[in-house]
Amino acid sequence: MLAKKNRFTQNSFEFWRKRMKGFRSGDFLFLFAPSNKETCCAVVISKKIEKLATKRNRFRRQVYEIFREYLLGKTRACNIICLYKGEKIPQNVDEIFPHIKAFIRFFVRKSQYNKK
């Protein structure tokens, strides 16, 4: 799970969502923008996709864990919103991981390019 300082508040979510650029990978849409402060992440999954909150929360925790492991502290500060647009939640983390890894690779390349 991510620390509270690495999660969006409702006000900051609304503010940043309008100002972000997008990256699509599979059923995921990642919105991102550079930040002056800490890296903040949000994972959004609609009730239309899964009615049970426990399954939505489990999916959200899996994505947060991947972000925590591979992104926090390893790249410059950014704001990331992960929107899941699939028809149903993947049962296995192995189905989620390649799409998130593709975004992380894209973001790292983009942030290195912007440093030069």
Closest CA to 100 of 21, 2, 6, 24: 24
Q: Is the pLDDT of residue 72 over 70?
A: yes
State residue 112's pLDDT score: 62
User: For residue range 43-52, what is the model confidence (pLDDT) as tens digits?
Assistant: 999 999 999 9
Architecture label for domain 4-115:
2-Layer Sandwich (3.30)
Q: Is the pLDDT of residue 53 over 60?
A: yes
In the chain, what are the domain boundaries? 4-115
DSSP 18-31: TT-EEEEETTEEEE
